[in-house]
Amino acid sequence: ECKECGKAFKCPSSVRRHERTHSRKKPYECKHCGKVLSYLTSFQNHLGMHTGEISHKCKICGKAFYSPSSLQTHEKTHTGEKPYKCNQCGKAFNSSSSFRYHERTHTGEK
């Protein structure tokens, strides 16, 4: 459980990752340019810009991603696709994580 907001997680590593959103910790530093990032996936995306290893690139805007799922979520920003719809209020979302976060507004869960 997060000490800051009380949000519960199944894995301790998920709690630690979430707690960074409150603390602004940035444990990943790029040796190429010195940029510091909060999350491993963001760091991996950034490193790919230096090494040219990123293979998941948006065909519309050129933004690059380390994982195919991150690219798929990003592509929905161009198409306007929002497949996750709230049954309680009708609001729709392009990612399952945004939808799950929204659902908590109805339950009062932090």
Element (H, E) at 64: strand 64-65
Q: What is the predicted pLDDT for the residue at 108?
A: 74
Q: What is the predicted pLDDT for the residue at 110?
A: 56
Decide: 28 and 40 in contact? Cβ < 8 Å: yes
Q: Which CATH number characterizes residue 33's domain?
A: 3.30.160.60
Decide: 36 and 29 in contact? Cβ < 8 Å: yes
Enclosing domain of residue 19: 12-51
Domain count, the chain: 1
Number of H helices, E strands in the chain: 4, 6
Q: What is the predicted pLDDT for the residue at 109?
A: 65
Q: What is the predicted pLDDT for the residue at 89?
A: 95
CA pair distance 102, 90, nearest whole angstrom? 11
Query: Would you say residue 20 lies in a domain?
Result: yes
Query: Would you say residue 80 lies in a domain?
Result: no
Q: What is the predicted pLDDT for the residue at 19?
A: 72
Query: Would you say residue 32 lies in a domain?
Result: yes
Q: What is the predicted pLDDT for the residue at 17?
A: 73
Name the one residue in this structure whose structure tokens are 């603390």.
23
Query: Would you say residue 1 lies in a domain?
Result: no
Q: What is the predicted pLDDT for the residue at 86?
A: 92
User: What is the mean pLDDT of each successive set of 10 residues along the chain, which is 110 residues long?
Assistant: 77 75 75 85 80 80 82 89 92 86 78
Query: Would you say residue 81 lies in a domain?
Result: no
Query: Would you say residue 23 lies in a domain?
Result: yes
